[in-house]
Structure 1
Amino acid sequence: MRIVLVGPPGAGKGTQAALLAERLGIPHISTGDLFRANVSQGTDLGKQVDAILREGGLVPDEITVAMAADRMAQPDAEDGFLLDGFPRNIAQAKSLDALLAESGQRLDAVLDLEVPEDEVVRRIAGRRTCRKDSSHTFHVQNKPPREPDVCDICGGELYQREDDREETVRKRLAVYHEETEPIIGYYSEQGLVSTISALAPVPEVTRRALAVLPERAA
């Protein structure tokens, strides 16, 4: 099964992608992971990405598509994959269609995780991260620390990352609406989109996603 997962920042795509991929027995392919893997392995594409990111630039579509194509060609993706963060725009969506068509394949489903904008801001702006260990995260409402601004695990200071601030989140949302959201319309014309409310506990959102897949599978 070949699936694209789309949704705004804060919709829980990473969490759902990992859970769905495990349940379906297909690899979770994240553009962020692809960038990091290619950079750490020192591939030609990785060197280009590293140089671009160091200068604060955006990775060009052709490099992103090339990395995704290479990953989708790996043996573990022969029977399907779940794409997270790719395609990011209409141009990438068309490139993906062309790549799949070359091997006689097509997407089976596009899962659109829907979350109201104010909820996205609440989720992200409420996050607090430990300065000692960034894997320790809390939320001022959903998962507050026992002591304000102190990590329950190691006692480190909790702080709000710059990219978690409300003004930054709203800028990220504006970019999503302008660049990525149009792919939902693009794939809707192909009859591939299922919109799933992500306003529920993680297991329930996963259940909702799995429930629509049999109807969409090729």
Structure 2
Amino acid sequence: MRLIFLGPPGAGKGTQAKLLTEKYNIPQLSTGDMLRAAVAEQSDVGKRAKAVMDAGQLVSDEIVNEIVSDRIDAPDCASGFILDGYPRTVPQAVALSKMLEGKGLVLDAVIELKVDEEALLRRIENRVAETIAAGGKVRSDDNPESVKKRLVEYREKTAPLSQHYASTGQLKTVDGMADVAVVTREIEKILG
């Protein structure tokens, strides 16, 4: 099973991906997690990615496409994967399609989590407060200014993916503002 989750930052893509990875025993390929790992390792690509993420921007297609292609080749992806937060642009989607075709793979579904942006900002503020209360470390891009920049970039660059995948017949939408369990049930209905 090969899936893509679409939706703005904080829509619940990561939460849903983690639940499905447990059920279907396939990995969640979160470009955000992969990029944060590169930043923590202080690799060259990690340093470039950190500067971009700290500015509340999206990382370049070149960097992300390379990371995703390498990751899809890993043995744990043989039975499938869930892409969480990738592709983020129509050019990335086109590159992914070519990449998968070159590997003899196809997508099974593209699921978009629809959310209200004002409620989403409150959700992210709550996530930060909960992380701090639990003694955790807050992501450098989890602050109101960065989130607002990321939402603008999402609307400009990522939202067109809905139309792109709708034209392929692969797009399915779910109300991302619903309770986590309700969202999970709706996704499972889509997957059959």
TMscore range, shorter length: 0.7 to 0.9
* Count of aligned residue pairs for this structure pair: 186
How far apart are 1:190 and its partner, in Å? 0.6
SS state at 1:186 partner: helix
Identical pairs, percent: 41
- Which of the two has higher C-alpha Rg? 1
How far apart are 1:90 and its partner, in Å? 0.8
Q: Which residue is 2:2 aligned to?
A: 2
Q: 1:148-191 deviations in whole A, cap 9, x for unaligned?
A: xxxxxxxxxxxxx88433x5433321111111111111111110
The amino acid of 2:168's aligned partner reads Q
Whole-Å separation in 2 of the counterparts to 1:200 and 1:193 = 19
How far apart are 1:132 and its partner, in Å? 8.2
| TM-score (norm: length of structure 1) | 0.76
How far apart are 1:14 and its partner, in Å? 1.2
Whole-Å separation in 1 of the counterparts to 2:150 and 2:48 = 22
| TM-score (norm: length of structure 2) | 0.85
Q: Which residue is 1:85 aligned to?
A: 85
Tell me, yes or no, if the aligned pair for 2:2 and 2:81 is still in contact at 8 Å: yes
Change (3 A) 1:122 1:111: same
Unpaired runs of at least 5, structure 2? none
Over aligned residues, Cα RMSD in angstroms? 2.4
How far apart are 1:130 and its partner, in Å? 2.2
Tell me, yes or no, if the aligned pair for 1:125 and 1:169 is still in contact at 8 Å: no
Unpaired runs of at least 5, structure 1? 138-160
SS state at 2:168 partner: coil
Tell me, yes or no, if the aligned pair for 2:11 and 2:120 is still in contact at 8 Å: yes
SS state at 1:5 partner: strand
SS state at 2:113 partner: strand
Q: Which residue is 1:130 aligned to?
A: 132
SS state at 2:88 partner: coil
SS state at 2:184 partner: helix
How far apart are 1:41 and its partner, in Å? 5.4
Q: Which residue is 2:188 aligned to?
A: 210
Whole-Å separation in 1 of the counterparts to 2:69 and 2:167 = 24
Q: Which residue is 1:170 aligned to?
A: 148
SS state at 1:97 partner: helix
Whole-Å separation in 2 of the counterparts to 1:81 and 1:19 = 13
Whole-Å separation in 1 of the counterparts to 2:71 and 2:48 = 21
